[in-house]
């Protein structure tokens, strides 16, 4: 077994996932390194934040610089200078986000590159071959997500195609030691979501991604559907909620049995001058911070908060200095890694409910049904 379940409390789980490049303590937040880099940060800085695993993207790396080139240069870990675990997303979300530029059939998807307009083709087999060349520790299957408000007919067709593609991905050759995760879909219908989890739970995947959520639907719908699927998915394998990762998302999803997360939000908002704090998200460009000598977030232990004031961070953003992007990214990623760690260390102690209640209060989060 690659996944060891160490403790459970309520719906939450604490575990340990073994990969070819080290252990991942779960629940875990994965910083996003879409193009083989966590934007603005070095691998050592990301490691120092407490991250054990990163996410990179098959779609982007296949288009530039190319999976074969990365393989010839020693694989993704050597190429990007990261010695921890790497999960590669299959690119399904990116391909289908192109919308009118995509032609989909049971064979796969034909689309136009966002870089140069060239015609590209992804099939379950080619996507797994790309991830094999990259040498990631965890490879995701090729899937077809749908966005809110998709009809039940559209959601069912995409779900059934995702199931057929999942079987083909399992049959494809994997890199040595590479784990493979299936992805449950089902749109926004309770019955479809439950059915997708039941079908994929019977397959010998090493873990399961929960895809197609937080794509425009109300949060109450997100967490209702999430609860449906975690109740069905096998307890002996990790569950990964894909592309979701605000502080509220982490607290609520961990309580519902999710083990892994990724999200571009912490680094994306950092580049726009926003930071995550216990008092809510704030925009450092606001004039009220011009003379603020306090840290980005009182009580945070990150490098940014230990060394610099809000006034200085505001100055960097107003002056267009790249250091502002770096320092805000360091802070935001540390906030999420630390939050997940705090919850993880509580699971199994008998104090989880108190911790969740406390975190909801600190982050001003209302419990969701």
Interstrand relation of 282-283 and 179-184 (parallel, antiparallel or unpaired):
unpaired
Residues ≥6 apart with Cβ < 8 Å to 181: 87, 138, 139, 140, 141, 205, 206, 207, 208, 209, 238, 240
CA distances from 316 to 100, 290, 304, 313, 338 (A): 40, 11, 13, 5, 25
Out of 25, 89, 206, 259, the active site residue is 89
Residues ≥6 apart with Cβ < 8 Å to 100: none
> How far is it, in rounded angstroms, from Cα 191 to Cα 85?
35
Tokens of 268: 């994306």
Tokens of 309: 């004031």
CA distances from 83 to 51, 69, 203, 240, 275 (A): 11, 19, 30, 21, 28
Out of 25, 133, 262, 297, the active site residue is 262
> How far is it, in rounded angstroms, from Cα 307 to Cα 327?
10
Annotated catalytic residue 291: no
Annotated catalytic residue 143: no
* CB distance 255 to 11 below 8 Å: yes
CA 49 to chain centre: 16
Q: Of how many residues is the chain composed? A: 369
Tokens 């493979």 belong to residue: 180
* CB distance 343 to 359 below 8 Å: yes
Task: Name the residues annotated as catalytic.
Answer: 89, 262
């Amino acid at each position: 077994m690659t996944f060891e379940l160490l403790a459970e409390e309520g719906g939450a789980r604490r575990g340990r996932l073994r990969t070819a490049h080290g252990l991942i303590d779960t629940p875990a937040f994965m910083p996003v390194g879409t193009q083989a880099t966590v934007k603005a940060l070095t691998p050592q800085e990301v490691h120092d934040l407490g991250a054990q695993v990163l996410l990179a993207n098959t779609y982007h790396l296949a288009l530039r610089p190319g999976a074969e080139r990365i393989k010839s240069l020693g694989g993704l870990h050597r190429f990007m200078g990261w010695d921890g675990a790497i999960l590669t997303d299959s690119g399904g979300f990116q391909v289908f986000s192109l919308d009118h530029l995509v032609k989909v059939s049971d064979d796969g998807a034909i689309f136009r590159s966002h870089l140069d307009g060239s015609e590209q083709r992804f099939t379950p087999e080619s996507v797994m071959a790309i991830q094999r060349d990259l040498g990631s520790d965890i490879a995701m299957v090729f899937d077809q997500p749908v966005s809110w408000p998709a009809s039940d007919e559209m959601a069912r067709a995409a779900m059934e195609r995702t199931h057929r593609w999942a079987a083909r991905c399992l049959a494809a050759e994997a890199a040595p030691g590479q784990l493979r995760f299936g992805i449950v879909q089902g749109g926004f219908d309770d019955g479809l979501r439950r059915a997708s989890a039941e079908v994929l739970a019977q397959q010998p995947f090493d873990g399961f991604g929960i895809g197609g959520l937080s794509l425009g639907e109300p949060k109450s719908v997100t967490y209702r559907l999430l609860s449906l699927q975690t109740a069905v998915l096998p307890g002996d394998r990790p569950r990964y909620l894909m592309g979701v990762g605000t502080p509220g998302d982490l607290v609520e999803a961990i309580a519902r049995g999710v083990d892994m997360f990724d999200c571009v939000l912490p680094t994306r908002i950092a580049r726009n001058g926003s930071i995550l704090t216990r008092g809510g998200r704030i925009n450092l460009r606001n004039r009220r911070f011009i003379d603020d000598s306090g840290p980005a977030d009182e009580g945070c232990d990150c490098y940014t908060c230990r060394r610099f004031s809000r006034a200085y961070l505001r100055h960097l953003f107003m002056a267009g200095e790249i250091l502002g992007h770096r320092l805000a990214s360091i802070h935001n990623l540390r906030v999420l890694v630390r939050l997940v760690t705090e919850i993880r260390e509580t699971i199994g102690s008998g104090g989880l409910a108190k911790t969740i209640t406390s975190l909801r209060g600190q982050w001003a989060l209302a419990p969701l049904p």
